[in-house]
Each structure stands twice: as structure tokens, then as C-alpha cells.
């Protein structure tokens, strides 16, 4: 009789059943494919064109609108600073004056879509029209703020969003993507 803990050489030895190898190969394949996808995404071969990039017709459009925006932003910079306002009513008036300048700018930008030298295709015209609509909505939000500020010195600026992206970010992203750098939203409201 075998004692507890002693080796019994008479009993059959048990070998583990072979594991299916296919699971390992599937996991390895998934990991390798994931690495390849990410490797391509960060490689110089991946397409990096932003969805709101205008095509070949952007150059004539850019050349027409850049001076309009530059002129408007220079005029905005010449307006009194928010810190110089004596009260919320005066500040409200300053914002309304700035909004008038911005609205004039947007009207002039929109008019450039029909300029003879602008050759934007239908897709690019649509994207640019959305950008102009975003500008108009942004200015409307600023007008709302200015109106509320004249009655309430603690009024807050509320900016709308499209698809979860705030209007001023959409406007600035479009301008930067298409290298219309002076057409970004101003930071004059404070």
C-alpha cells in the first residue's frame, strides 16, 4: 500500500488534452491587423485632407476674402476694449458695434461666392455656404448676448453648436483649414 505523498508508479499518467491552436492564431491576427491599421494611419501614405478642405477653386476665393476679413479685424481692434466700458450698457453697445462690422464682413464674404473669378464646385460652394451660415448664427448669438447684457450685467454669452462643435470653433477650423487666417472668429467679447 502506498503511503500518502509517495510516488505510485503503477497508476496511469494523465496528459492534458491538446488545446485548440486556432484561438491563438485569431488573436494574433487581430493584433497584427490592428497594428498595421494604426501604422498606416500615422504613416505619410495616409490621406490627411480635412473634410472641409476646399478644392482647386479655393485660391481665387481666398484671395478675395482674405482682405475683407483683414480689414474687418483691423476695424474691430480699433474699437474700445471691453475693460474700458464704464458699465454693461456701454459694453453692450460696443458688442453691437462690433457685430455690425462682422455682419457687413459676412455679407461681403457671401457676395464673393458669385465673383467671376471664383470657381468653387458644388460641394465647395455648399461647405462655404455652411461656413457663412455659421457666421450669421454666431453673430446672432453675440447680438442676443449684447441685448441681455444691457439689462443684466451678469449675462453670459451662449454660443450655438452644430454637430456638437461650437460655432466659433467650426468657423475658425474652416478658416484655418483653407488658410483664410484672418477670417477666424474674434475674441473681443471677453
- One digit per residue, the tens of pLDDT, for the chain of length 190 reads 555 555 555 566 777 666 667 777 888 888 888 888 787 767 766 666 667 777 776 778 889 999 999 999 999 999 987 778 899 999 999 999 999 999 999 999 999 988 888 888 898 899 999 999 999 999 999 999 999 998 999 999 999 999 999 999 999 999 999 999 999 999 888 6
pLDDT at site 66: 95
Measured CA distances, 150 to 92, 95, 140 (Å): 6, 11, 16
pLDDT at site 31: 85
pTM metric for this prediction? 0.74
d(CA 88, CA 17): 82
Amino acid at each position: 500500500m502506498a503511503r500518502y505523498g509517495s510516488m505510485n508508479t503503477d497508476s496511469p499518467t494523465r496528459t492534458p488534452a491538446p488545446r485548440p491552436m486556432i484561438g491563438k492564431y485569431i488573436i494574433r491576427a487581430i493584433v497584427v491587423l490592428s497594428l498595421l491599421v494604426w501604422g498606416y494611419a500615422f504613416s505619410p501614405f495616409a490621406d490627411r485632407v480635412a473634410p472641409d478642405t476646399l478644392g482647386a477653386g479655393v485660391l481665387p476665393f481666398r484671395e478675395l476674402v482674405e482682405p475683407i476679413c483683414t480689414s474687418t479685424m483691423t476695424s474691430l481692434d480699433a474699437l474700445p476694449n471691453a475693460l474700458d466700458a464704464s458699465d454693461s450698457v456701454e459694453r453692450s453697445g460696443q458688442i453691437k458695434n462690433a457685430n455690425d462690422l462682422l455682419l457687413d464682413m459676412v455679407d461681403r464674404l457671401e457676395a464673393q461666392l458669385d465673383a467671376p473669378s471664383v470657381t468653387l464646385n458644388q460641394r465647395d460652394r455648399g461647405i462655404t455656404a455652411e461656413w457663412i451660415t455659421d457666421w450669421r448664427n454666431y453673430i446672432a448669438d453675440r447680438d442676443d448676448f449684447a441685448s441681455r447684457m444691457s439689462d443684466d450685467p451678469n449675462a453670459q454669452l451662449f454660443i450655438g453648436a452644430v454637430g456638437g462643435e461650437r460655432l466659433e470653433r467650426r468657423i475658425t477650423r474652416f478658416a484655418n483649414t483653407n488658410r483664410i487666417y484672418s477670417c477666424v472668429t474674434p475674441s473681443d467679447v471677453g
